A and B are shown apart, each in its own frame.
Chain A
Amino acid sequence: GQQLNQSPQSMFIQEGEDVSMNCTSSSIFNTWLWYKQDPGEGPVLLIALYKAGELTSNGRLTAQFGITRKDSFLNISASIPSDVGIYFCAGLGTSYGKLTFGQGTILTVHP
């Protein structure tokens, strides 16, 4: 089946720093999604990308749908303590209605 490789697995940064994470796949995806999971809660959708090359922002978050349709990137600018959590990428490919999730990136922000 389709698989997503998400990196890095974890990040430890200082407040105010920028963050970058990415997901890659050997398969083509038609939609890329980025979710954030806070401790003790379910994932919450941050950004959705529907077109190759698309660049979309949501506040301090910016995500891009790779031109090859096999990768996506998420950037967080000027990180703050409440950015801590697990970030997941997810792709919608040829399996109708079924998302494939990356392994997650654990983000820790030191004040």
Chain B
Amino acid sequence: DADVTQTPRNRITKTGKRIMLECSQTKGHDRMYWYRQDPGLGLRLIYYSFDVKDINKGEISDGYSVSRQAQAKFSLSLESAIPNQTALYFCATSDRVDTQYFGPGTRLTVL
């Protein structure tokens, strides 16, 4: 079984809809991250959490919110999706500041 799982793997939605992407990990790591990937821009950090009671904004947090429900679960929400939020979204975990382990990604399309 995969150490970091993301659901759904693909999602198509309409402008204005609320969307939640979920991430679960079995690695026992305290730190979890949400990234967005766009062609030619690499990965950009949306939010990160160093433990269950810690939530921090990344470089592109506008339009997104997160919830750390447990050590193993970190969800990303788009309260009102817009087309420029169409992208690949990755969850990652780490037990150190550098070695991050990524999930398989969620491809989100906002029409």
CB–CB B45/A45 < 8 A: no
The verdict on A92 contacting B40 (CB below 8 Å), with A42-B102, A98-B45 known, is no
Cβ contacts B36-73/A at 8 Å (1 or 0 each): 00001111110010100000001100000000000000
- Complex: chain A residue closest to B101, CB-CB: A45
A41 and B105 within 8 A (CB):
yes
Q: Quick one: CB contact mask for A73-95 with B, threshold 8 Å, 1 for yes?
A: 00000000000000010001000
A103 to B4, CA, bound (A): 23
Contact, CB under 8 Å: B105 / A103:
no
Contact size range, A:
20 to 34
Question: Contacts A1-B59, A98-B48, A98-B58: A43 and B99 contacting too (C-beta < 8 A)?
Answer: no
**B105: which of A9, A42, A101, A104 is its contact (CB, 8 Å)?**
A42
Q: A48-B98, A92-B98, A97-B31 are in contact. Are A102 and B103 (CB under 8 A)?
A: no
Chain B residue, CB-CB nearest to A33 = B98
Given A40-B104, A42-B90, A42-B102, check contact A96 B97 (CB 8 Å).
yes
Known contacts: A97-B97, A104-B42. The answer to whether A43 contacts B31 by CB under 8 A is no
- B residues bordering A, Cβ < 8 Å? 4, 31, 40-45, 48, 50, 58-59, 90, 92, 94, 97-105
Can you identify 19 A-B contacts, CB atoms within 8 angstroms? Answer: A1-B59, A6-B42, A31-B97, A35-B102, A42-B4, A42-B90, A42-B92, A42-B102, A43-B43, A43-B90, A48-B99, A88-B43, A92-B97, A97-B31, A98-B48, A99-B98, A102-B42, A103-B42, A104-B40
Q: Residues of A with Cβ closer than 8 Å to B?
A: 1, 4, 6, 9, 31, 33, 35, 40-45, 48, 88, 92, 96-99, 101-104
